[in-house]
Copies of this chain bind each other. A is one copy, B any other.
Amino acid sequence: MGDACHHHHTDGPPGAAEVERALAAADGRLTAEGERMTAARLRVLALLLGAGEPVKAYDLIARFGEDGQPAKPPTVYRALEFLERKGLAHRIASISAYVACTSGGRDHAAAFLICDCCGATQEVSSPVAGDLGLVADAAGYAIERTTIEAHGRCPACRIAA
Protein backbone atom coordinates (compact mmCIF):
# COMPACT_ATOMS: atom_id res chain seq x y z
CA MET A 1 0.00 0.00 0.00
CA GLY A 2 1.06 3.57 0.57
CA ASP A 3 -0.54 4.77 -2.62
CA ALA A 4 -2.06 7.97 -1.38
CA CYS A 5 0.84 8.99 0.81
CA HIS A 6 4.11 7.64 2.05
CA HIS A 7 3.73 7.77 5.80
CA HIS A 8 5.10 4.83 7.63
CA HIS A 9 2.99 3.26 10.28
CA THR A 10 4.37 2.53 13.68
CA ASP A 11 3.62 -1.15 13.90
CA GLY A 12 5.32 -1.93 10.63
CA PRO A 13 6.11 -5.39 9.32
CA PRO A 14 7.26 -7.74 12.03
CA GLY A 15 10.86 -8.93 12.03
CA ALA A 16 11.87 -12.23 10.51
CA ALA A 17 12.16 -13.80 13.94
CA GLU A 18 8.60 -12.92 14.84
CA VAL A 19 7.36 -14.28 11.56
CA GLU A 20 9.22 -17.53 12.18
CA ARG A 21 7.70 -17.85 15.62
CA ALA A 22 4.21 -17.21 14.34
CA LEU A 23 4.69 -19.72 11.55
CA ALA A 24 5.95 -22.36 13.95
CA ALA A 25 3.02 -21.73 16.26
CA ALA A 26 0.52 -22.02 13.45
CA ASP A 27 2.20 -25.12 12.12
CA GLY A 28 2.19 -26.74 15.54
CA ARG A 29 -1.38 -25.90 16.31
CA LEU A 30 -2.78 -27.12 13.01
CA THR A 31 -0.70 -30.25 12.97
CA ALA A 32 -2.02 -31.00 16.44
CA GLU A 33 -5.51 -30.57 15.07
CA GLY A 34 -4.80 -33.10 12.38
CA GLU A 35 -4.57 -30.53 9.62
CA ARG A 36 -1.80 -30.50 7.07
CA MET A 37 0.24 -27.33 7.09
CA THR A 38 1.78 -27.75 3.68
CA ALA A 39 4.55 -25.79 2.02
CA ALA A 40 2.22 -23.63 -0.04
CA ARG A 41 0.09 -22.77 2.97
CA LEU A 42 3.11 -21.92 5.06
CA ARG A 43 4.54 -19.84 2.28
CA VAL A 44 1.39 -17.78 1.86
CA LEU A 45 1.07 -17.32 5.60
CA ALA A 46 4.71 -16.25 5.74
CA LEU A 47 4.09 -13.65 3.05
CA LEU A 48 1.06 -12.31 4.87
CA LEU A 49 2.85 -12.20 8.21
CA GLY A 50 5.89 -10.59 6.65
CA ALA A 51 3.83 -7.86 5.04
CA GLY A 52 2.07 -6.86 8.24
CA GLU A 53 -0.69 -5.25 6.22
CA PRO A 54 -3.29 -6.33 3.68
CA VAL A 55 -1.84 -7.89 0.55
CA LYS A 56 -3.56 -8.40 -2.80
CA ALA A 57 -3.90 -11.97 -3.96
CA TYR A 58 -1.95 -11.31 -7.11
CA ASP A 59 0.88 -9.79 -5.12
CA LEU A 60 1.06 -13.03 -3.18
CA ILE A 61 1.02 -14.89 -6.46
CA ALA A 62 3.88 -12.76 -7.78
CA ARG A 63 6.00 -13.14 -4.65
CA PHE A 64 5.22 -16.77 -4.07
CA GLY A 65 8.42 -18.38 -5.36
CA GLU A 66 11.47 -17.73 -3.22
CA ASP A 67 13.38 -17.50 -6.46
CA GLY A 68 11.08 -14.97 -8.00
CA GLN A 69 8.94 -17.47 -9.83
CA PRO A 70 5.26 -16.62 -9.49
CA ALA A 71 2.68 -19.20 -8.47
CA LYS A 72 -0.40 -20.17 -10.42
CA PRO A 73 -3.51 -18.40 -9.07
CA PRO A 74 -5.25 -21.52 -7.72
CA THR A 75 -2.23 -22.37 -5.61
CA VAL A 76 -2.49 -19.15 -3.68
CA TYR A 77 -6.28 -18.95 -3.61
CA ARG A 78 -6.47 -22.46 -2.19
CA ALA A 79 -3.97 -21.61 0.50
CA LEU A 80 -5.88 -18.44 1.32
CA GLU A 81 -9.13 -20.34 1.60
CA PHE A 82 -7.54 -22.81 3.97
CA LEU A 83 -5.92 -20.14 6.12
CA GLU A 84 -9.15 -18.22 6.29
CA ARG A 85 -11.10 -21.33 7.20
CA LYS A 86 -8.64 -21.99 10.01
CA GLY A 87 -8.77 -18.43 11.28
CA LEU A 88 -5.16 -17.68 10.41
CA ALA A 89 -5.95 -15.10 7.78
CA HIS A 90 -8.80 -12.82 6.79
CA ARG A 91 -10.12 -11.43 3.57
CA ILE A 92 -10.80 -7.70 3.60
CA ALA A 93 -13.74 -7.53 1.21
CA SER A 94 -13.83 -3.78 0.80
CA ILE A 95 -10.37 -3.75 -0.75
CA SER A 96 -10.13 -7.34 -2.02
CA ALA A 97 -7.02 -8.06 0.00
CA TYR A 98 -5.85 -10.57 2.56
CA VAL A 99 -4.18 -10.18 5.91
CA ALA A 100 -2.73 -12.48 8.56
CA CYS A 101 -4.83 -12.74 11.68
CA THR A 102 -3.34 -10.87 14.61
CA SER A 103 -5.77 -11.95 17.25
CA GLY A 104 -4.74 -15.55 17.40
CA GLY A 105 -8.13 -17.10 17.97
CA ARG A 106 -9.10 -20.00 15.80
CA ASP A 107 -12.49 -19.15 14.42
CA HIS A 108 -13.66 -15.70 15.21
CA ALA A 109 -15.49 -12.70 13.86
CA ALA A 110 -13.01 -9.97 13.16
CA ALA A 111 -13.32 -6.26 12.52
CA PHE A 112 -10.79 -4.03 10.82
CA LEU A 113 -9.68 -0.43 10.92
CA ILE A 114 -8.04 0.43 7.64
CA CYS A 115 -6.08 3.57 6.81
CA ASP A 116 -6.82 4.65 3.26
CA CYS A 117 -3.73 6.79 3.32
CA CYS A 118 -0.89 4.45 4.30
CA GLY A 119 -2.62 1.09 4.26
CA ALA A 120 -2.05 0.36 7.94
CA THR A 121 -4.66 -2.08 9.10
CA GLN A 122 -5.60 -3.07 12.58
CA GLU A 123 -7.66 -6.08 13.53
CA VAL A 124 -9.86 -5.23 16.46
CA SER A 125 -11.62 -7.92 18.39
CA SER A 126 -15.03 -6.55 17.99
CA PRO A 127 -17.77 -5.80 20.38
CA VAL A 128 -19.24 -4.74 17.07
CA ALA A 129 -19.87 -8.25 15.84
CA GLY A 130 -21.80 -8.89 19.02
CA ASP A 131 -23.99 -5.88 18.42
CA LEU A 132 -24.63 -6.92 14.91
CA GLY A 133 -25.69 -10.27 16.27
CA LEU A 134 -28.29 -8.55 18.43
CA VAL A 135 -29.69 -6.63 15.49
CA ALA A 136 -29.78 -9.83 13.48
CA ASP A 137 -31.56 -11.69 16.25
CA ALA A 138 -34.21 -9.01 16.40
CA ALA A 139 -34.75 -9.43 12.67
CA GLY A 140 -34.88 -13.20 12.96
CA TYR A 141 -31.66 -13.82 11.08
CA ALA A 142 -29.22 -16.55 12.08
CA ILE A 143 -25.78 -15.11 11.41
CA GLU A 144 -22.89 -17.28 10.33
CA ARG A 145 -20.21 -14.81 9.37
CA THR A 146 -19.66 -11.10 9.32
CA THR A 147 -17.73 -8.53 7.35
CA ILE A 148 -16.91 -5.47 9.42
CA GLU A 149 -14.50 -2.95 7.99
CA ALA A 150 -13.97 0.73 8.73
CA HIS A 151 -11.99 2.99 6.43
CA GLY A 152 -10.40 6.25 7.38
CA ARG A 153 -7.08 7.62 8.60
CA CYS A 154 -4.75 6.13 11.14
CA PRO A 155 -3.32 8.31 13.93
CA ALA A 156 -0.12 8.97 11.99
CA CYS A 157 -1.89 10.02 8.83
CA ARG A 158 -4.38 12.20 10.68
CA ILE A 159 -1.49 14.33 11.87
CA ALA A 160 0.42 14.32 8.63
CA ALA A 161 -2.81 15.25 6.83
Contacts and interface: CB of A to CB of B under 8 A. Distances in A.
Interface of A: 93-94, 111, 113, 115-116, 122, 124, 126-128, 131-133, 135-136, 139-155, 158
Nearest to A95: B93
Contacts of A139: 113, 122, 124, 155
A157 to B, nearest CB: 9
Contacts of A132: 111, 126, 128, 148, 150
A63 to B, nearest CB: 25
Given A127-B131, A135-B128, A145 B140 contact: no
B152 A144 contact: yes
- Tell me which of A136, A141, A145 has the highest count of chain B C-beta atoms within 10 A of its own C-beta: A141
B128 A113 contact: no
A131 B133 CA distance: 13
Given A131-B131, A141-B153, A144-B153, 19 more contacts: A93-B93, A93-B147, A94-B147, A113-B143, A122-B139, A126-B135, A127-B131, A128-B128, A132-B148, A136-B150, A141-B152, A141-B154, A142-B152, A143-B152, A146-B148, A147-B147, A147-B148, A147-B149, A147-B150
A152 B145 CA distance: 7
Nearest to A130: B131
B135 A111 contact: yes
Contact of A128 (B124, B131, B152): B131
